[in-house]
C-alpha cells in the first residue's frame, strides 16, 4: 500500500475510500484548468475514476498516481505519481495538490521522491512530463526536480510543453 516516504509526506495507493478526497481534488478549478475534466462530479464517478484510473494502472504497470498525505496528521494533500499514456513513448510524472496546501514545498518534495522511485526502484530509463502553457508553478516543480524542456506537443486538445529527464 505505502510506496514512498519522505521527510514530511507519505505516498500510498489510492483506494475507493479516498473517493471524497478525489472528488474534491478533481473538481477543484485548478485541477480542471491545468489538468482537465476526468468526468468526476459526484462520489459514484469518483469511485469509478479510482477503479479505472489509478487502480487499473497499479495492476497493469505496477505504478500510477498515488495519494500524498501528511505523515504528521494523515490528512490527504494531493496526488503524485506516474502515468503511462498511449500517446507518449514513456511514463510521465503527474501531480496535483489542493490549493490550501500550495507553496509549502510539498509538490517538489513528493515529485523528487517519485522521480527517484521511477529511476532507482522501477529502473525506468526516461521520465517525461507534460504541462499546459502558462502553468508556471508546475514548470518550476519540473525544473526543481531536473526535467528539461523538449518540445511543444499536441496530444489531442491543446498544445502542451513536453519535459524529460534521462536516467
Ligand X SMILES: CC(C)(COP(=O)(O)OP(=O)(O)OC[C@H]1O[C@@H](n2cnc3c(N)ncnc32)[C@H](O)[C@@H]1OP(=O)(O)O)[C@@H](O)C(=O)NCCC(=O)NCCS
Q: Is residue 102 part of the contact set for ligand X (CB under 6 A)? A: yes
Q: Is residue 51 part of the contact set for ligand X (CB under 6 A)? A: no
CB 145 within 8 A of CB 129: no
Gap between the Cα atoms of 90 and 76, Å rounded: 28
Whole-number minimum distance, CB 139 to ligand X, in Å? Answer: 8
Among 96, 114, 118, 128, binds ligand X (CB under 6 A): 96
Whole-number minimum distance, CB 158 to ligand X, in Å? Answer: 12
Q: Is residue 105 part of the contact set for ligand X (CB under 6 A)? A: yes
CB 36 within 8 A of CB 98: no
Q: What is the residue-wise DSSP string for 112-160?
A: HHHHHIIIIIS--SEEEEEE-TT-HHHHHHHHHTT-EEEEEEESSSSEE
Q: Is residue 163 part of the contact set for ligand X (CB under 6 A)? A: no
Q: Which residues pair with 68 in a beta bridge?
A: 11, 78
Gap between the Cα atoms of 10 and 138, Å rounded: 21
Among 107, 147, 162, 165, binds ligand X (CB under 6 A): 107
Nearer to ligand X, 39 or 133 (CB): 133
Gap between the Cα atoms of 137 and 98, Å rounded: 13
Q: Is residue 144 part of the contact set for ligand X (CB under 6 A)? A: yes
Among 9, 19, 35, 40, binds ligand X (CB under 6 A): 35
Nearer to ligand X, 123 or 157 (CB): 157
Nearer to ligand X, 44 or 143 (CB): 143
Amino acid at each position: 500500500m505505502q510506496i514512498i516516504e519522505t521527510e514530511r509526506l507519505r505516498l500510498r495507493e489510492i483506494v475507493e475510500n479516498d473517493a471524497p478526497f478525489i472528488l474534491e481534488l478533481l473538481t477543484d478549478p485548478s485541477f480542471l484548468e491545468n489538468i482537465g475534466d476526468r468526468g468526476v462530479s459526484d462520489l459514484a464517478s469518483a469511485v469509478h475514476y479510482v477503479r479505472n484510473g489509478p487502480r487499473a494502472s497499479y495492476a497493469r504497470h505496477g505504478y500510477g498516481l498515488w495519494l500524498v498525505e501528511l505523515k504528521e496528521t494523515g490528512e490527504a494533500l494531493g496526488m503524485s505519481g506516474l502515468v503511462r499514456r498511449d500517446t507518449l513513448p514513456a511514463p510521465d510524472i503527474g501531480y496535483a495538490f489542493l490549493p490550501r496546501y500550495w507553496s509549502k514545498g510539498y509538490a517538489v518534495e513528493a515529485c523528487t521522491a517519485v522521480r527517484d522511485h521511477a529511476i532507482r526502484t522501477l529502473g525506468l530509463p526516461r521520465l517525461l512530463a507534460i504541462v499546459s502553457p502558462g502553468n508556471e508553478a508546475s514548470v518550476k516543480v519540473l525544473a526543481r526536480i531536473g526535467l528539461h524542456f523538449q518540445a511543444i506537443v499536441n496530444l489531442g486538445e491543446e498544445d502542451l510543453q513536453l519535459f524529460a529527464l534521462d536516467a
